[in-house]
Structure 1
Amino acid sequence: MMATFRISTLRRIAPGAAPHVRVSQRRWAQVHGVRFLVTQYSDRILEKYKEKLGKKAKEEGLRDIDQLKEAYKEKIQDVKKAAIPIPTVAASRTTSTTSPLPVAQVSAERTPSSNSGLRTLSSYLDLDKTMDLPEKEIEAIWRLRHVNDAQSLCATIPLSVYQTIEDTAKTHPRFILPLPKEGQGAEIHFLQWTFPAENSVTVLFTHLAEYKLRGEFSQPHTTVTHHLELAKDKGLVLLHGQVVEGRGVSVDEAKWLVMCLQKFYGLGRENNERRRLLELFGKGDASFKIENLVEEAEKII
């Protein structure tokens, strides 16, 4: 039963951090910012690479970035044609009009470039000694192991709960989640599950705007790894996340996304709406609406 999905477990994420992002009903009513935020973020990325694009234009004998864009117009159109249309909310919650928010092609698997860089649980803990410890001591040691890293997240998840999450992830490895932004409405983030090693399962969180722009070459702002080495003997899965500083997401905001993820993927049979949203998104069904996603996310807190 979902009662075993303990809120206390989720609140152990990012020890020492402020309480997770709390969203009032009123703030969620400002969903009108979704499309604006996507465009705004794309503009920031363009500004970031402005100098390199200008250099590229000169190398090709072009006057400026506008001429460079015109020269590569056909290639840009090809990328856009590969996008999957997903409807989003329109001007506000009070209106029913929708407009398309295309997502870059999400069929390609994004996995870490090299498994050699993947840290196993043994790089954090002495597994032989840990196996002899009770659950509460393992949880305490895991928190202490990451307490000095201001950009990290950590939590322990009961195996029975994690199994539901993983089973759902294998069926629905890609999804999007809303993140509330003060005075700006909801910013949309793309997530993808990967299974790079026998005892490691990861989730990559990326700004949807960046993923649309760069596809499989986009850089995640948060990477969460589930370590399964203790699952069989201790009935625990240890979660560790790393938030990249300077990529537009705070540790508290990343914590909100992880909580949202666990609520959507750890759903029980009683929550038909969350399951329905996962299924519609996975199929690229036009009836998937971000407004419905936001409404469901409101219920998490």
Structure 2
Amino acid sequence: MFLRRSLTFRQIIWTKQCQPHTFYRLNSTKAELLQKYKDKLEAKAKILGYQSVEDLNESLKDDIEARKKQLNAIDPLKDLEGFEAEQASKMKKNILDHQIKIRDPIKRDAPIAPYKTLDSFVDSAKLKDLNKQEIEYIWRARFQKDDRSMVAILGATQFSNMYALGFKNRTFILPLAKESGGYEMHFVQWSFVGPETTHCMLTTLAEYKLHNEYAKPHSTIMFHQELAHEKDVVLMNCHVEKESNVSLADAQFLILNIQRFYGAMKSISKAKLELLEAFNRGEEMFDMEKLIEEATSFE
């Protein structure tokens, strides 16, 4: 899937406000300054026990020379270079902190692990003897200690709507607002890995464009349909990779929008459905502004 319309992201701009400096021209010569303050200097010399200003200067000559050497030992340019290097380092870190983290791709020769079914997590046969509330309690307890996981319980009809739209529209993109400004795009891929197991994977668009099918999803949503007919429930769990820069809250927002665009809510708006279908048709003038508007508006 290629979008011929380029994706635009808001740039982070650092504005440096420069305060105006006032410069004064010193036109007075040393002789003029001495003449101007002669009386005050002579009075100060006599207070300190000297007969004249010249005697005071002679007495303080050694102290003045020592002070000059001390001041000359300070290299203001070196200090400035150090300050500028420190500021450049801070700015670089700030930039890197707000950039999209690009991870290494999946190794091409890596063995493909078998997909996990419901029995990989719980004993599905025992769940069939329980009611819906009990099933939900056990399912949530199973992932309680995993701080990078999310779970949910869907109705069979609710999931069938998502399944149908996901089967017809297997890819999509969703925006995620960033604190630094602008939006980071995430690529949605549906995979129907087994008769009773469906995956929906989320990858940053930057990683997908770089690595294509070898890009690592930062979040994998698993839908387990083993209990759909008998118990009218589909169990969902999602794991968010720790090495990615996607927080659990970010993943929750993206999953919410997957539900909204793929019909898990009571109804799907015409605008969302049109965007979903337009993307999968590969329309040249896909409306990114409209996508952001629909994804961020919860009216």
The TM-score, its normalising length taken from structure 2, stands at 0.63
CA distance in 1, matches of 2:174, 2:7: 12
CA distance in 1, matches of 2:190, 2:277: 15
Aligned-CA RMSD value: 2.1
In the alignment, residue 178 of structure 2 is paired with which amino acid?
Answer: K
2:197 alignment partner in structure 1: 200
- Residue 84 of structure 1 deviates from its aligned partner by 3.9
| Pair 1:123-2:42 in alignment | no
2:232 alignment partner in structure 1: 235
Q: 1:282 to 1:86 in 2, by over 3 A?
A: farther
Among 255, 259, 273, the alignment partner of 1:262 is 259
CA distance in 2, matches of 1:86, 1:146: 41
2:278 alignment partner in structure 1: 280
- More deviation, 124-133/193-202: 124-133
1:77 alignment partner in structure 2: none
Q: 1:296 to 1:128 in 2, by over 3 A?
A: same
1:96 alignment partner in structure 2: none
- Residue 196 of structure 1 deviates from its aligned partner by 0.9
Matches within 5 A, 1:211-222: 211-222=208-219
1:6 alignment partner in structure 2: none
Q: 1:244 to 1:137 in 2, by over 3 A?
A: same
Query: Between Structure 1 and Structure 2, whose CA radius of gyration is higher?
Result: 2
2:149 alignment partner in structure 1: 152
Q: 1:270 to 1:253 in 2, by over 3 A?
A: closer
CA distance in 2, matches of 1:156, 1:113: 31
Gaps of 5+ in 1: 1-81, 93-111
CA distance in 2, matches of 1:183, 1:159: 40
CA distance in 1, matches of 2:172, 2:111: 21
- Residue 162 of structure 1 deviates from its aligned partner by 0.5
The TM-score, its normalising length taken from structure 1, stands at 0.62
CA distance in 2, matches of 1:287, 1:268: 29
1:271 alignment partner in structure 2: 269
Is contact 1:263-1:300 (8 Å) kept? no
CA distance in 2, matches of 1:152, 1:293: 27
Q: Tell me which of the two structures has the higher relative contact order, counting C-alpha pairs closer than 8 angstroms and 6 or more residues apart.
A: 1
Number of matched pairs: 200
- Residue 286 of structure 1 deviates from its aligned partner by 2.1
Among 289, 294, 297, the alignment partner of 1:296 is 294
Gaps of 5+ in 2: 12-109
CA distance in 1, matches of 2:262, 2:136: 22
In the alignment, residue 285 of structure 1 is paired with which amino acid?
Answer: E
Among 82, 85, 96, the alignment partner of 2:4 is 85
CA distance in 2, matches of 1:209, 1:159: 34
